[in-house]
Each structure stands twice: as C-alpha cells, then as structure tokens.
Copies of this chain bind each other. A is one copy, B any other.
C-alpha cells in the first residue's frame, strides 16, 4: 500500500496521509518546490533540507534536453545528482506545451518538442516518456498529458482530454512493463493526470476515465492557470468525487496560500507551483497577514521582517529595508533570500495544516488563516 490515510477532518474532506515511495515516506498534504532543472532557482539542496521541503518536482523533458538523461542516470537519478535527500517527482513534459520555446505540436502518438539548445527536434511518445522518467529514477512519475492553454475552445479541450486519456493507457502499460522485474518497494510510482479545463462534462469524463485505471495517485491538471477561483474549486470538487478516495490527489500548479488551504479542505494532498519563487523574485512575499509588496515605498525604511510570525532564517535576521535594497540592485543574494522565505512559508503552512487536521481543528485553522491572510 503506497498511500495510507492517517487522519481525517470531520467537517471537510481534508486528510493527512502517508505516501510511501522508494526514497521514503512523506506526510500529506505537502507542497513541492519546482526544481525543473535539478535545482530550484537560487535555492540549494541544503536550503531545501533546511526549510523542511521533503519533496520536489523536476521536469523529465527539460532534463532530457540538458544535461541529458544519460548523465543523470549515471549519477543514480535526480535525487543523487542534486544531492537531495527527499522524494523526487518528475513531470512528464506535458506542462511544457505551455512553453513556446520548446513545444512544437502533438498528435495521436506523442508530442514533438524543439530542443532550443541543439536546435533539433524530439518526438516523444508516452512510452518514451515512461522510459525517460525511469532513467531519471524519480520516485513518482507523471503520465504524459496534453495540457490545453487556458484560452482554447471547448473543442480543443475535448481533444486534449481524449489524447491525455489515450496516452495515459499507453503510459500505464509501458510503465508496468518496464518495472515488472523490480520488487514492489523499489518501484517508481505512476500518477495519472486528468484534464478538462473548467468544463464540467469534460473534467468529469476525464476524471472517470482515470479513476478506471489503477494509478498510484491522481493529479488534477490544467487548473491554477488564471481561471476564476470558484471554477477551480468546483473542478476540484467534481474530480475529487470521481477519483478514488484512498489514493493521493495532486493539484498541479497551485501555490497561493489561500488556494492551497481551500484545496486541502476539498481533499487534495499534493501541490507544486513556481508561483512562490517567481513572485519572490518580483518582490511579492507571503506573510501571515497577506502579501507583502516589498518594493512599495513604505518598506524602504522598514525595520520589520517580512513576516514577524515566520520562523525562517530570513525573517529572523533581515529587515524589509535590507531585502528591498537587495532586490532593488537585483542581487542574487536577495533573490535567494526572498525565494527561501516564500518556500519556507508554504512548508510551514503545510505543517500547520497537517497538525490542525490531526488535532481535528482544521476548519478553525482554515477560517483563522484566511481571515488573517485577507486582512
């Protein structure tokens, strides 16, 4: 059993689980910093360990382009290559359909990517992608999915749902075959990803399709892309009603504190987003009282930490005035410190959420957090 639910909230769908992987167990809900190219931007593996980030997500396609899967395979996989002692997820590359410098087109059998480094083309089938993720030796692989852009027509979303579903079956078969001789406790897990945008019928169709295949976990993809929060939450509820209750649910791309708490209360267990680090680099910092816009003039002389309630080394040490100056001169040290704080904030939020669920106080915790955050 790869996922064990150890505590359930009575008034919501929030739960604490234990996800068991070949690199160790990790309590859900958790948030994964995005580690696309075997590093979180500006953040070292030591930093990740120190902030308590017990899982990260990398990107199989991007790594296959540089430094190449052979190099990482030779070093024993992503975790060993980057000297990270934790759980490593790999996204397939489906998300890179958002990245116009890489994505070219897709058809029935796979996706055509450009290699912006060599200038060459890579055609990736679901089967190739499974082989790639096994080579990268991540603990959890994601199915190759077709991720529609937010602005596309319903027809295009339907087409993405169809392709994603078809590829998922191919992924599952290939992945099982590749690992058939590997003992169960040494196996990479495989998560499916349902799509469907914010179209109820398509989302439900996709979720039902995935629920029918025995994946180790299920992701809800194609959300947290700028749609209305109400639509996002409605889609989560819909997918969650269909997907297996005893499997971990991974809401891809969500990284706003309130959004995370809302998703946890709707039964999501796993999260990732580049939002916290990208925002940090732009001076948008999390605090228990809501977003701090560091570059605002009011912070120019501020002797206060980013968040007086935060226990991270950045908040325990540096003033807003100093951090603001570092971002103002665009120094890498400032970019690191800001990124560290935002990631720590989410790790801490997940710790608090798990604790509240275990103590049967999640609803109060959620209410208090959101009220204070919106102040």
**Is there an interface contact between B83 and A322, defined as CB atoms closer than 8 Å?**
yes
Q: Write out the residue numbers on chain B whose beta carbons fall within 8 Å of the beta carbon of A335.
A: 332
Name the residue of chain B whose CB is nearest to the CB of A38. B325
- Known contacts A83-B317, A317-B83, A321-B71: does B66 contact A333 (CB below 8 Å)? no
Those of A307-356 within 8 Å (CB) of chain B: 313, 317-319, 321-322, 325-326, 328-329, 331-337
When chains A and B are docked, how far (Å) is the Cα of A335 from the Cα of B332?
8
**Is there an interface contact between B318 and A42, defined as CB atoms closer than 8 Å?**
no
Mark contacts of A28-56 with chain B using CB atoms, 8 A cut-off: 1 yes-contact digit, 0 otherwise: 00000000011111111110000000000
Name the residue of chain B whose CB is nearest to the CB of A74. B301
- A82 touches B (CB below 8 Å): yes
When chains A and B are docked, how far (Å) is the Cα of A374 from the Cα of B67?
31
A45 to chain B, nearest CB (A): 7
**Is there an interface contact between A322 and B38, defined as CB atoms closer than 8 Å?**
yes
Residue count of chain A within 8 Å CB distance of chain B: 38
Q: Write out the residue numbers on chain B whose beta carbons fall within 8 Å of the beta carbon of A43.
A: 333
- B38, B321, B333: the one contacting A44 at CB < 8 Å is B333
- Known contacts A44-B337, A303-B75, A334-B39: does B329 contact A66 (CB below 8 Å)? yes
When chains A and B are docked, how far (Å) is the Cα of A334 from the Cα of B40?
10
A371 to chain B, nearest CB (A): 33
- A22 touches B (CB below 8 Å): no
- A81 touches B (CB below 8 Å): yes
Apart from A41-B331, A46-B313, A81-B321: 19 A-B pairs, beta carbons within 8 A = A37-B325, A37-B329, A38-B325, A39-B326, A39-B329, A39-B331, A39-B334, A40-B333, A41-B332, A43-B333, A66-B325, A67-B321, A71-B301, A71-B321, A81-B319, A82-B322, A83-B322, A332-B335, A332-B336
16 contacts across the A-B interface (CB closer than 8 A) = A37-B331, A38-B325, A39-B331, A39-B333, A40-B333, A44-B336, A46-B317, A66-B328, A67-B300, A71-B300, A71-B301, A71-B321, A83-B318, A83-B322, A332-B332, A333-B336
